Amino acid sequence: MQPEPQSTATATDGHFHPRTLEMEALAKSLPIQGVEASSKRIFTVWGEAGVGKSTFISEFRESELMSKSKVLWIQPTREGELETIPEFIRACAKSVRYPNQPEKEEKISSKLESVQRGKVNPIVSDDSILITRSSLAKEKKPYVNKAAVASVGRTEKVRDDIEVSVGLGESKANNHAEGFLDALPLQALGTDLCILYIERIERLSVTILDWIRDYVFPAATRGAYRRSLVLLIESLDPIRLACPTENWGEWGHLLHDYRLYSLSEDDTYQYSIKSGLDPATARFLYRASLGYPTRLARALQSCRALDPHQEGNPEPVLASLDAPAKLDLAALCLPEALYPEDLDALFGPKSGKAKIAWLKSLPNIPLRQSEDGHQLPTAFRRNVLQATADLPGFKPLFTRWNSYSRLEHNIPSRSDRAKLLHLSGLLWINKDFCEQLFGPESDKVYRFATQSDQLFNRNQDRYRISERYREYLQRTAEHMGHPGSKTIRQKAEAIWQRRQTEINERIEKLEAELEALQNNTNTLIRRQSEALANLRIQERKTETQEIDSGREATPKGSPAGPVVILSSILCLALLGSGLLVSSPANAGLFIGSLTSLTLAIVYLPKWKAQRKASAANANTLFSHESPEILRKQSLDLTHQVQDSESDIEDLKQAIEEAKEELRYSLV
């Protein structure tokens, strides 16, 4: 909200320095006394267009607050966009300001200019300690920066037997970052803070922003090239709305937004008095300019050019009016030009035409018709406002006009203002929400949001009315009784309430599925662990059985089965032949048959042992505890665990997306 008017002006030697309190507040937020781990590192001075942000920062830089502290200011200065890192460093070298020690500016600028190619001279570097052979250094006294040694913890010992080549990292981007930071003075050498001021961040290419985030920030935070460096950005909106997709890396949680408002009423009055205006005109100047510097300068010129004989005496008219009518006349003297649509913000819906007609009916009113509508002379307006300023109803009246006039300042187009008033009760909108809320007109509404970059903040497919004028839009819609603040808002609240219920139910369902899936995954992981443990046990058991079976089985050589079978067949054949042949020829056959039988009997136990071992191996192979079965089970469980973990990640993503929707409230 716009703060209550308060004095922020001081006068020194006849020179006016406005916004002293604002400067003190910004100075307190900066880590001038020393950068710590929790210190904010990215600062945004944001506010409406024309509020004087650039002038304020320039005055803040040159203020007594900065001259008392040793603060180095660097601002990349160049017309147009900056595309490459060397261009950025060159632009920084052109605008170096050190209010406390201006004699150092040229040296720092020269160092920045010399490191634009990512190189550094180790002899003059604050962070580099050159160690050389004694033959190259006179009296064995190479350059040693003791302050740098103390800050980075390096040795001061001089050695004769080594030579060190000072480098700047592994990549060109890292070289640029270290060279850039090396050109900035250390806090140990007396510099309290280094401020990198970016007036228009949209002029920096993605390459430069990525380089600042990925290389400058980390190097400035820790290591040999760390610096008391902060980034100061000028913006129309808070940093997270102005740059919603920008990732600030290590400094992403170290953001601080500072809103700058227009000059307060007291500041404007003090400035007007210092400019030679009388008190009545000085008070009128704030009502005419609302503290916007450009409007203030224009109004100041207009007031200085006032003709003292110009029609400006409202006393005859005011004498004939009662208190409510006087307030109506005062309200008609607030705008520079009178339009019926503008007056609706003061008098209510569709009241503007009637008020202009009433004004025309009054006697002795110097009302003129022009291309800009109806106008009253500046002197007449000033005198009416001076005469009515103490009436009880004037302050609420001016508050209503203040909101609309500021809205008009931010959005000059009447067509755009009329469209935005319909959206005044909304927050974030997207295509689906527009279809539910506006029906057949949704395409026009959504197209207006997507094509009006200066009026809306964007985050992916969501759009939000800019924060810099949202408050003025909402107040104006309420004062006018506009449907945007009533019926449209009520309908949007009902849609959002249903939407919230659906999202919360979906989140609850997804979380229940996630919990069940996590429990099932844990069960699978336990089963997998058990299967692996059983596999190791069975593998050791199988190895033992094979060793034992090998000891009990047939000796090395041919299997015993064929020997037994062939010996038995041969025995029977010889025995049969011996029975058919007469003696004494059959004696040899009987002896051969007996020999074959003996061989079969000898190999029979070994054959039985081999058959038993084979049967045992077959039983082990096809049992549920066999290594082969356990390996297959373990592999199947591994696949199930992987699939389950993938499903868990999908559910987590779905839950996060649902919660993200809740963070972007529609009303």
Q: Look at the block and give the residue holding tokens 């500046």.
A: 378
Question: Where on the phi/psi map is residue 19: left (φ > 0), alpha (ψ -120 to 50), or beta?
Answer: left
Pairing state between β 42-46 and 229-235:
parallel
Q: What is the pLDDT of residues 141-173, one digit of tens each?
A: 444 444 444 444 444 444 444 444 344 345 778
**Percentage of the chain lying above the pLDDT 90 cut:** 38
How does DSSP classify residue 260? -
Distance separating alpha carbons of residues 64 and 66, to the nearest angstrom = 5
Q: Where is 26: in which H helix or E strand?
A: helix 20-29
Q: Tell me the average pLDDT across 639-654.
A: 91
Residue 80's pLDDT is 81
Asked if the model's pLDDT at residue 120 lies above 70, the reply is no
Residue 533's pLDDT is 84
Under 8 Å between Cβ of 96 and 108: yes
- DSSP assignment of 287-303, as one string? HHHTT-HHHHHHHHHHH
Under 8 Å between Cβ of 106 and 121: no
> What's the 3-state SS for 166-208?
CCCCCCHHHHHHHHHHHCCCCHHHCCCEEEEEECCHHHECHHH
Residue 202's pLDDT is 87
Residue 334's pLDDT is 92
pLDDT band at 176 (very low <50, low <70, confident <90, very high): confident
Q: Tell me the average pLDDT across 114-140.
A: 46
Asked if the model's pLDDT at residue 1 lies above 70, the reply is no
Please report, as a single letter, which amino acid is at residue 161.
D
Average pLDDT, the chain: 81
Sequence-ordered list of residues with C-beta below 8 angstroms from that of 624, at least 6 positions apart, any chain? none
Q: Tell me the average pLDDT across 133-140.
A: 39
| 195: nearest Cα among 64, 52, 58 | 58
> What's the 3-state SS for 468-480?
HHHHHHHHHHHHH
Please report, as a single letter, which amino acid is at residue 10.
T
Q: Is the peptide bond before 584 cis (omega within 30 degrees of 0)?
A: yes
Q: Where is 232: in which H helix or E strand?
A: strand 229-235
Asked if the model's pLDDT at residue 372 lies above 50, the reply is yes
Q: Look at the block and give the residue holding tokens 């913006």.
A: 235
540 or 552, which is more confident?
A: 540
Give this prediction's pTM. Answer: 0.73
| 290: nearest Cα among 336, 251, 322, 250 | 336
Residue 600's pLDDT is 64
Q: Mean pLDDT check: name the lowest of 2-6, 219-223, 271-275, 411-415.
A: 2-6
| 302: nearest Cα among 312, 288, 314, 292 | 288
